[in-house]
Copies of this chain bind each other. A is one copy, B any other.
């Protein structure tokens, strides 16, 4: 018999982790569903919305926390790694529910977003008053419920994630920073046009760092490491890998938000332009485009009525300015920096292989 390669080995273990995570997410939500049923059967749609959301997705944060744990010497498929994954996936679901309200996104992974689901429930049930408004209100509450569930799951880890532990400290920091980062993101949409153009790129980078890089990669990896008892030096080494990786991950997201194919992203073409997102890509284009291009871009940003033609023209402005190439270059540079930092960590080949593959998928994805 042949020895499995390191890559096959991490894939097998990762599949088993994914299965354990899905099973525990299911069991967790089943218990809460029973509690909610006791309040009233009418509450079922909140649970269905949450269950639907956590059944999909890349599981990036859960997987990073798992390999962060394994890289710091934690044992294979330990229960606390599954509980951590449950907490991170529920947190991400809560963030997506509120994010879609904030961004007025009607779709999520090709299906109706949660506020749309509730608006459709309203419509289909022949209820009175305003269905859109009901949808928003119900989605705010569903996100709050999901946020509470995330916390419950994290607490279930027990003493290792109790008051004053490194894992709890990172979890707390993660929550506060992502909310601050999201606020800076929406602030830039409205305040960006009247703020100094010279610092637009640096402001966009701050948003990327807090809204995404720290939240999606640095902190999940750190929580896993901290649970396994990693010291500060190891955690700092983790961050040297995960922070550039997370930045590259978000820059890829920004490119997909403008140039992505709706068939793979599950979002309308040019969604970020309609939304008025002042991403790094957009900040670079505003700095580098000629006067005519800049004005066209500034006019189009945040216009919910942009048609496909308009999106195509704005895409051309961004590409012609050189901002697209510059962003792709930056993604490459950051991914390279992350890979080098990963090599320097001297991890077990299995963990190294898993993190390399996760990093590659995060940066090269099309959805």
Residues of A within 8 A of B (CB): 32, 35-36, 39-40, 42-43, 46, 94, 98, 101-102, 122, 125-129, 131, 134, 136-138, 140-145, 147-149, 151-152, 155-159, 162-164, 168, 172-173, 175-177, 179-184, 186-187, 189-191, 193-194, 206, 210, 276, 302
Q: A127-B194, A179-B148, A302-B128 are in contact. Are A186 and B138 (CB under 8 A)?
A: yes
Point out the residues of chain B lying under 8 angstroms from A181, CB to CB.
39
Shortest distance in angstroms between A297's beta carbon and chain B's nearest beta carbon? 14
Please name 7 pairs of A and B residues whose Cβ atoms are closer than 8 Å in the assembled complex, sorted by A: A122-B190, A128-B302, A129-B190, A134-B186, A141-B183, A158-B164, A162-B162
Shortest distance in angstroms between A51's beta carbon and chain B's nearest beta carbon? 15
Name A161's closest neighbour in chain B (CB-CB): B163
Q: A125-B191, A186-B134, A191-B127 are in contact. Are A156 and B147 (CB under 8 A)?
A: no
Contact A148 B122 (CB under 8 A): no
Contact A163 B157 (CB under 8 A): yes
Point out the residues of chain B lying under 8 angstroms from A101, CB to CB.
137, 140
Name A102's closest neighbour in chain B (CB-CB): B137
Shortest distance in angstroms between A282's beta carbon and chain B's nearest beta carbon? 14
Q: Pick from B35, B129, B186: contact of A137, CB below 8 A.
A: B186
Point out the residues of chain B lying under 8 angstroms from A184, CB to CB.
39-40, 42-43
Main secondary structure on A side of the interface with B: helix
Shortest distance in angstroms between A166's beta carbon and chain B's nearest beta carbon? 14
How far does the alpha carbon of A175 sit from the alpha carbon of B94 in the complex, in Å?
Answer: 15
Contact A134 B190 (CB under 8 A): yes
Contact A180 B276 (CB under 8 A): no
Interchain residue pairs A-B with the least CB separation, the first 8: A127-B190, A102-B137, A148-B175, A39-B180, A145-B179, A43-B180, A158-B163, A151-B151
Contact A176 B140 (CB under 8 A): no
Name A83's closest neighbour in chain B (CB-CB): B163
Q: A98-B144, A137-B186 are in contact. Are A155 and B179 (CB under 8 A)?
A: no
How far does the alpha carbon of A148 sit from the alpha carbon of B210 in the complex, in Å?
Answer: 16
Most B CB contacts (10 A, CB to CB) among A98, A162, A163, A206 go to A163
Contact A32 B186 (CB under 8 A): no
Point out the residues of chain B lying under 8 angstroms from A158, CB to CB.
162-164
Name A32's closest neighbour in chain B (CB-CB): B176
Point out the residues of chain B lying under 8 angstroms from A157, CB to CB.
163
Contact A39 B210 (CB under 8 A): yes
How far does the alpha carbon of A183 sit from the alpha carbon of B53 in the complex, in Å?
Answer: 19
Point out the residues of chain B lying under 8 angstroms from A302, CB to CB.
128-129
Q: Pick from B32, B141, B191: contact of A98, CB below 8 A.
A: B141
How far does the alpha carbon of A226 sit from the alpha carbon of B353 in the complex, in Å?
Answer: 48
Point out the residues of chain B lying under 8 angstroms from A145, CB to CB.
175-176, 179-180
Point out the residues of chain B lying under 8 angstroms from A122, CB to CB.
190
How far does the alpha carbon of A9 sit from the alpha carbon of B191 in the complex, in Å?
Answer: 54
Shortest distance in angstroms between A212's beta carbon and chain B's nearest beta carbon? 13
How far does the alpha carbon of A24 sit from the alpha carbon of B193 in the complex, in Å?
Answer: 40
Contact A155 B128 (CB under 8 A): no
How far does the alpha carbon of A39 sit from the alpha carbon of B187 in the complex, in Å?
Answer: 14
Point out the residues of chain B lying under 8 angstroms from A134, CB to CB.
186, 189-190
Contact B129 A189 (CB under 8 A): yes
